[in-house]
Structure 1
Amino acid sequence: MATFNEGSLKKKLDDLNVSTQSIQTVSLWLIHHKKHAHTVVNVWYKELVAASESRKLTFMYLANDVIQNSKKKGPEYNKEFGNKLGKVFEHLGSLRLDEKSTRGLNRLLSVWDERNVFESDDIATYRKSLSRAGSTGGEVEELKRNHHEKKVKDKEAKKREYTGKYEVHTSKKLRKEIDAYHPSTPEPRVRKESENEMSLFGGSPHASSPPADPPEPEQLIEALQELENAATSDALVREKIANLPAEVSDVSLLSKLQDTSQGRALSEKVEEALAMLEAYNKRLAEEMEARKAVARMLHDYIAHQKDLLAQAEETLEEHRLKQGKVKKVREEPSMFDKSTDISKVNQH
């Protein structure tokens, strides 16, 4: 991994864009050079102030990724960014930012507040500074978000009330993995701007959510094996659904009913089919969460391995330099050899 200096840091910040790959690549490089955190944050702040208004949100996304993903490696960045964010939000609040930037910044503060990245009082101060921008777009979006979250919670509560006879729960082992990588506290949800933006806040397996320790290989293998028992692999239920009688779903066949007894029989079939489908849909939803959890495990594991590889490469480079110095010293003639050569010259 490249040696750290201010020139290389500025070059990386100049090339930074809003894509997830760009942000995570620079973030990994900064975390690797965490011993230079003070210099990094000072340069980052100067570049953010000088950047165009459309790029300031990208700089904040980079800070978010570094802050959250460096927690397990040390408090350096959390401390250094914490010292600068007051000035940062005062600067941002002095501008007339567009609605997208204001919404993104408010969302970022909500994530920090929910995940206790910074003290609530500090975040309240940041919000107050940001509100000076004179844009009410963020407040409107927050009201919409709260309303949407309430609707989602109500819907989930109704779904949990149902207990069908075909219901099959996700295995306990896999559920533990889901709980470990998907905390029960819901993340703030807003209208999707793009896949890249969503991935920065938990919308994909490559999110910048609080990093957990990378899973052990055995733990990862076990979670992958558990997916073999997921809903999409349940051939028996899928066959039952495929073989449901046509009158269960075709309304036009109701006209063929001849008496009340046939109606009751059809009603029972419909209720039975409904119970099976609702239970299967629930299992599919659980499988989606399980797959997200496993994907996050894979992401954390790969990121950890890349980090170890970077450290190993740097250590290898240091050893190569030391080896070169030792080799150079060995190749130089010793003082004894020099004195011997001089005595031979004197004899002649």
Structure 2
Amino acid sequence: MASFSRAVFVQKLSELRISQKSIVSLSRWVLEFRQNAGSVVTVWLQQFRLVTPGRKIIFLYLANDVLQNGRRGGPEFLILFATVLREAARLVARSRDEACKACFRTLLDIWQERKVYIDEFIQNLRLPLGEPQTLPPTVTEEQRPPEKQTFGAIQESEPRSVPEGPSPQPSILNLPLIEKMIRALQNLQQSASGDTGEMPTLPPEVQDASFVKRVAGTSEAKNLTELMEKKCTSLLEYSSVLVRKIDDQHNLIEMLLACTQNQYEVLVEKEKKYEESKKKYQEATQILQCLVDIST
């Protein structure tokens, strides 16, 4: 399988059309690069900021397909998209485009109905759109924006290959992603320890352009040419290694950000449960005290 390329993804996004075939095709391509989920989401948001409201609708359809059909393989896309959907909601609201806002609202209804994200997170996404924090009713045909009629199959049909049962939630500690991040850290540490001596050594005749003036004869020129070609090849190979390492480090940083976001979501959820438990304890203590007073 070819490696993930941001430039290729940007090109594919520019060619994306509002049809089920186009959306599903790019979604499947994206899901082949689960290990590059951070780069995928970053590029998606960067391009989402730039496109028109009409194109934003298509990008939202793509995110919907990736989220719903990527759950079986792991929670990477769920968690990483969760870090950018708040900004996406603000951008949709700022566009003042009713069709775009209606599209996003309907997707939020679908995600809530199918438990793609927890209710509290979805309610927070509704706020920029000017919606009250109330649970939405079941999605009806009348509530769907007109654009959806040309692309209804993607929203109305069941997602492809989505497993039954509860899906990973941002408020649940994401152990698989943490384990993957630890492995990535170990791999980087091992590769860093083997970096010594990888940089090709260049002889003076390759580094000093004035050395060419001292070349005497065709044979010597040919030897110098072969030496330079060999060293150029070595430098290109070493550059490729550096590019891969830089990409690995970039992905690791994005995984760290995702894990940080996940930890924050877990902390917020635990604090909420703690406050609820504390309140119930205080109420139970008051009731117990009343019972003691009555019995005496």
TM-score, normalising length: structure 2: 0.49
Q: Which has the larger radius of gyration?
A: 1
